[in-house]
Amino acid sequence: MTHDLATPVALEVWKDPQGFAITHHVRDTAWVYFQCWDAPGLPADFIGCLQFDRVWHISARRYRPLKGYPNVAPTEDHSYYLWVKNSRLIKTLKSKRSAHDPDWEQYDPVDYQHYIVESHDFYTQIVAGSVSFSRIEKEMARPFFQLWETI
């Protein structure tokens, strides 16, 4: 079985492939906000948000020599996030946690999944119990647009 194969999960919007994502993480919830396009190169007046619940792990990595996550299944979709099957990251996290607390799965029975959101020069890895998508319209997205204008 192939380890760490990432399967693209199509988004309902066209995520700006050159945009920077904004991540926000509080307790066991994380949000990844990203700019969207109406058409190639034409910015939309709304943004996309992926909300991750029951978060166990979150990290960001600069691509370094890569141009994205290295092991992605082919797709025709132009906008997606990634779901990693047979994740070595989850296996490592479970092993480390079990070494300190062998019974942890009795009180934390979440079926954790490994997700990746790619943005301009980084990808964010999130291990969480679930993910959902929402669209944030112009007025509510204003603070994010202002932040993107400064970077």
pLDDT in tens, 14-61: 999 888 899 999 999 999 999 999 998 899 999 999 999 999 999 988
- Percent of the chain residues past pLDDT 70, beyond the cut: 95
21 secondary structure, DSSP code:
P
Across the range 1-14, mean pLDDT stands at 88
20: CB partners within 8 A, 6+ apart = 119, 120, 121, 122, 148, 151
What dihedral angle (degrees, nearest 10) is formed by the CA atoms of 103, 105, 127, 134? -140
The CB density around residue 121, as the number of other CB atoms within 10 Å, is 12
Is the pLDDT at 105 greater than 70? The verdict is yes
